[in-house]
Amino acid sequence: MANGFADNGTSRACPFGRCDGGGWILGEDDMAHKCDCLEPRLSKARSSGMNSVIPRRYRGVSFDRPPVTEIDAVVVNAVRDWIDSMDRNLDEGHGLWLMGDTGTGKTTLAMLVSKETLKRGHSVAIFSLPKLLARIRATFDAQMGEESYAEFFERLCDIDLLHIDDLGAEKQTEWVLEQLYALINERYEREKPIVVTTNLDHVQLEAQIGERTVSRLVEICGEALPLMGEDARLKPRLRNE
């Protein structure tokens, strides 16, 4: 359909064979009760039209193999703890903030979080910040029947987990600051988690996206998990030189 949803998530046969495909069961009390198939379908519907595909490079990421086994164990354990308590974290709106040098594993760990969240049937939207801003701008030129800014913004705010890569990698403008504040503040108020990666420390990020926005990010994610060190992408080249 033009709004980005393929359907309402409830038009297929029930995978459990318990309902007629509508997601509801009529009980002996003549009351309608949710079937176990309803929530996964609604989650899929919420993510329809979003970028929820793990990039090919990160589809095989795992705690028990490189590069994750070569990343700072303290940070890896914090990410593992978040995943172990995923349902509670999603319900209470607790996210993760990965901060540090280029090539230290921030995106890898964030993709691992998104991968595991998707595997458990939750909805996830994955964007680098420049691509997200470009997508938002595109909604301003939406034609009749295409997804509007309000519709896309609502999707971003309602998705179970929003994954933003390279926060702070955008050119600073009043429009960018307004969009970031609106999005992060709305998810903060709805108690919806965010996973972010950034090369900027706390002070630098405040200068780039504003103190109000960073303050709400801290409320959602807690203090940043630091990943410092050499760029792992350059190590093979250095060994060859």
Task: Using pLDDT thresholds of 50, 70 and 90, give the confidence band for residue 41.
Answer: low
pTM score, two decimals? Answer: 0.76
Q: What does the pLDDT read at residue 91?
A: 96
Q: Which fold has domain 49-240?
A: Rossmann fold (3.40.50)
| 3-class DSSP string for the chain | CCCCCCCCCCCCCCCCCCCCCCCEEECCCCCEEECCCHHHHHHHHHHCCCCCCCCHHHCCCCCCCCCHHHCCHHHHHHHHHHHHCHHHHHHHCCCEEEEECCCCCHHHHHHHHHHHHHHCCCCEEEEEHHHHHHHHHHHCCCCCCCCCHHHHHHHHHHCCEEEEECCCCCCCCHHHHHHHHHHHHHHHHHCCCEEEEECCCHHHHHHHHCHHHHHHHHHHHCCCEEECCCCHHHHHHHHHC
Average per-residue pLDDT for the chain: 83
Q: What does the pLDDT read at residue 200?
A: 94
Domain ranges (residues) in the chain: 1-41, 49-240
Q: What does the pLDDT read at residue 198?
A: 96
Residue range 222-233: mean pLDDT, rounded:
82
Name which of 35-49, 97-111, 120-134 the model is least confident about.
35-49
- pLDDT digits 0-9 by tens, 131-172: 999 999 988 887 777 778 999 999 999 999 999 999 998 888
Is residue 13's pLDDT more than 90?
no
